[in-house]
């Protein structure tokens, strides 16, 4: 079939792949030693296969996986809403009373300076009213994601233009430039603490600037420009500057991260339940 001459180049390909049987391999070797076309074809096949052999399996990162799930979930939910009867439940107004009240309390209680964690609030209605079963089931799946992984800008030369950060719409990734690297590090550090024991919290309190964000946790991605649900859902109503930091996972939960001066807010992505500061 592939032959351009008398020899079966399928067999040459199989020999290059290593899938030829003993007898086939012997026959292929014989051809290759006496046939320039076969030898050239073998070289080509082996070069291509060797190049492709370096290609590892592709795996979604935690963040990409979360984004994929969210986008699918939201598209499905949107379609369901579009086809559903008009009287759908209103989105979580009760929860946002908790969010706003709790955040105000947190701001009062928190240590002034670079955000050290203390108390706050928890819980919500669990998002049961969020676009029906779709969100709930996929959120449950999201909760199975691996451990915390913070994604943020890897640009260390960050400017200090604060324009636009308090707008309702999430800022584009370039707006990460509104932070200094020091601020970013300090604000991200609490996420690190969730990976460790409470002892880490104490260490952080003693020396917040010694809690760097490991380089391997920092990955720029255009995907991070994806609008974040919780900002749309009401964080933008908070007094003061609210700056989107990114998305991460925490104890297997996908969370959204915001800076709400002077601390960090982390909300479970599916339900917008505040998971940091902790109670």
Partner 1 sequence: MTASRADEDSLLVEQFLDGSLQAFNELMAAHEDRVFGICLRIMRDREAALDAAQETFLTVYRKAEKFTGESAFSTWLFRVATNTCYDQLRKIKRRSADPLPEATDPADPQSDMAFLAVELRPDLQRALATLTPEFHKAIVLADMEGLPLQQVAEVLGVPVGTVKSRVFRARKQLAEALRNQTTDSERRNGDNNA
What are 276's two structure tokens? 């940091």
Among 49, 97, 162, 168, binds partner 1 (CB under 8 A): 49
Nearest Cα residue to 270 out of 150, 140, 139: 139
47 touching partner 1, by CB under 8 A: yes
Among 124, 152, 153, 221, binds partner 1 (CB under 8 A): 221
CB of 148 to partner 1, least distance (A): 14
Considering the complex, state which of residue 83 and residue 93 has its C-beta at the smaller distance from partner 1: 83
Tell me if 123 sits within 8 A of 99, measured CB to CB: no
* Helix (H/G/I), strand (E/B), else coil: 267: strand
User: How far apart, in whole angstroms, are the C-alpha atoms of residue 184 and residue 171?
Assistant: 15
Considering the complex, state which of residue 36 and residue 198 has its C-beta at the smaller distance from partner 1: 36
Among 56, 85, 86, 113, binds partner 1 (CB under 8 A): 56
The dihedral built from the CA positions of residue 75, 80, 143 and 264, taken in this order, carries a sign that is: positive
5 touching partner 1, by CB under 8 A: no
Considering the complex, state which of residue 23 and residue 52 has its C-beta at the smaller distance from partner 1: 52
Site mask for partner 1 (CB under 8 A), range 129-158, x = bound: ----xx--xx-xx------------x----
CB of 169 to partner 1, least distance (A): 19
β strands within the chain, DSSP E = 242-250, 253-260, 263-268, 274-276
CB of 269 to partner 1, least distance (A): 15
Sheet holding 263-268, edge to edge: 242-250, 253-260, 263-268, 274-276
Site mask for partner 1 (CB under 8 A), range 200-219, x = bound: ---------------xx-xx
CB of 37 to partner 1, least distance (A): 11
Considering the complex, state which of residue 47 and residue 237 has its C-beta at the smaller distance from partner 1: 47
185 touching partner 1, by CB under 8 A: no
Tell me if 256 sits within 8 A of 266, measured CB to CB: yes
* Helix (H/G/I), strand (E/B), else coil: 56: coil
What are 232's two structure tokens? 């749309």
Q: Angle formed by the axes of helices 36-53 and 22-34, to 10°? A: 120
57 touching partner 1, by CB under 8 A: yes
Beta-carbon contacts of residue 250 (< 8 Å; ≥ 6 apart):
148, 191, 194, 266, 275, 276
Among 5, 30, 34, 68, binds partner 1 (CB under 8 A): 68
Binding site for partner 1 (CB under 8 A): 1-2, 9-10, 13, 41, 43-45, 47-49, 51-52, 54-61, 64-65, 67-69, 71-72, 75-76, 79, 133-134, 137-138, 140-141, 154, 215-216, 218-223
């Amino acid at each position: 079939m592939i032959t351009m001459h008398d020899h079966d180049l399928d067999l040459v390909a199989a020999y290059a792949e290593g899938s030829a049987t003993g007898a086939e391999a012997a026959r292929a070797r014989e051809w290759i030693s006496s046939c320039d076309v076969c030898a050239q074809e073998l070289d080509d096949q082996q070069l291509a296969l060797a190049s492709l052999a370096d290609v590892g399996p592709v795996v979604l990162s935690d963040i990409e996986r979360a984004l994929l799930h969210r986008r699918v979930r939201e598209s499905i939910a949107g379609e369901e809403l579009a086809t559903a009867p008009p009287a759908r439940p209103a989105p979580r107004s009760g929860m946002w009373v908790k969010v706003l009240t709790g955040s105000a309390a947190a701001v009062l209680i928190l240590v002034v300076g670079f955000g050290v964690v203390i108390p706050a609030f928890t819980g919500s209605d669990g998002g049961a009213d969020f676009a029906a079963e779709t969100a709930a089931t996929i959120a449950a799946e999201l909760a199975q994601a691996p451990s915390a992984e913070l994604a943020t800008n890897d640009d260390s030369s960050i400017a200090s233009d604060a324009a636009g950060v308090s707008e309702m719409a999430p800022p584009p990734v370039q707006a990460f430039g509104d932070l200094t690297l020091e601020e970013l590090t300090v604000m991200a550090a609490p996420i690190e603490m969730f990976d460790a024991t409470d002892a880490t919290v104490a260490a952080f309190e003693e020396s917040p600037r010694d809690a760097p964000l490991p380089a391997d946790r920092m990955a720029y991605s255009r995907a991070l420009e994806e609008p974040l649900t919780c900002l749309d859902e009401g964080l933008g109503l908070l007094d003061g500057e609210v700056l989107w930091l990114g998305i991460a996972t925490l104890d297997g939960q996908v969370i959204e991260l915001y800076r709400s001066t002077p601390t960090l807010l982390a909300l479970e992505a599916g339900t917008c339940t505040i998971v940091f500061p902790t109670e």
